[in-house]
Structure 1
Amino acid sequence: MIHDQLVCQDLHVVFADGTAALRGVDLALGDGIVGLVGANGAGKTTLLRVMAGMLAPSSGSVLVGGRSAIAHRVAVGVGSIPDGARLPQYLRVDAFLDGLRRAAGSPAETASEGEIRRALCISDLGERPLAALSLGQRRRVELAAALIGDPDLLLLDEPTNGLDPLAMTALRSGLLAARRPGRLIVVSSHHLDELQRIAEWIVVMHEGRVVASESASTLLAIGSSLEAVFLATAGHAHA
């Protein structure tokens, strides 16, 4: 992983009520799939929002491809699935994706989008209303939607929440199909066993700070599983 795709320097976010969500985050990430892990309240969602250019930091900086995160969002766009994202229920799947494609200036589905759609097992859902989709189907459609326009940065906040094993398998296949040179995919999840299957790099957060940022192979060399590594790392940071 070449550390030049996304760079955070001394990043702080303090909310109006005085809550410090991020406390001096320094982080450099290249392309590939990155797993973002941490307990509830560790700052994962706030960090993803700042990376996406949706939230301005209180101090410090975030550069994506050499631009500020906000400028990158305006100029290029970011693929993202916020936790709790809502789809327009009255549309059918094909109409929803076609509308996003037209808005992105892509008149037709690309070969890459078609490959990802097949990997996600949503090719047969085109005429189904979004309101009729199961949770797993919605998450997979959300991922296909986030990838329209071929973004270099894809941010996923807890995409596996509530999914059964079959839906998780399909989502994993879609993420692996979406991986390409120059694309950074950051996945926040509490399903550490699932992250362990796909992530090449792991970032561990604790109380608004990054306490570990290493290749998955390096971290797993010191622990039997990602869960064991996380508990040891977060526990050491808390001590």
Structure 2
Amino acid sequence: MARKTTDEKLKKIRGLKPKPRPKLGRWVRRQLLRVVSVAFLLAAFAVILFAVFNPPKTYYMRQEAARLGGIDHVWVRMEHIAPVMARSAVAAEDANFCQHWGFDMGAIRAALAEGGQRGASTISQQVVKNVYLWQGRSWSRKALEALITPVMEAVWSKRRILEVYLNVAEFDEGVFGVEAAARHYFGVGPGELTAVQAARLAAVLPNPKGRSASRPSPALRSRAGQIRDGAATIDRDGRAACFQ
């Protein structure tokens, strides 16, 4: 009887097969999916949080503060910014701001047609890059930007997006936000900016370290004139309605 029991146990043991180990590729994919999921949830939480609370100084601001020994930055609410400044920023950087959901497909197609020689980033994308990500042109940053931008567009109002943009944009070396920029260049508060001053501030945005709103070059004067006309146009045709 004992012999029979032993034989049965040996058969069972021989019949057991070792569990297959998970393949390395599958394990890596699972871990990567977990990391991406956690990162996306954290980003979604931050998007919801900053819809109500003002974000802290951006990563780039902290870099510049460390390099320069400090920066000039004071947060200001949208109602304390001259409406013409908001319109000028939109006219300069993203004329279809009120008509897209974060990506301007027309501008993207135009940029591709020109071989990538012109930018196609919307104000929404720039806010995502400045507030949540880092500077640079890496594919990883662009991928995260593409994921976060529509989430932000779904949660934030257009007015909130523009408010944050005007408060984190760089207008000169170490000068961030329209409050600091208005006083730095013109000695006035952001609510007192004229159409000419607002257009000049908007004109320096693509290259703030190489341009001056108070000492404009002929090229910047010309660009500011175009922006001033554009700001008036989007006010007339309703393309500023979403943030005014």
Higher share in helix? 2
TM-score under structure 1 length normalisation: 0.25
TM-score under structure 2 length normalisation: 0.25
Which of the two has higher C-alpha Rg? Answer: 2
Higher share in strand? 1
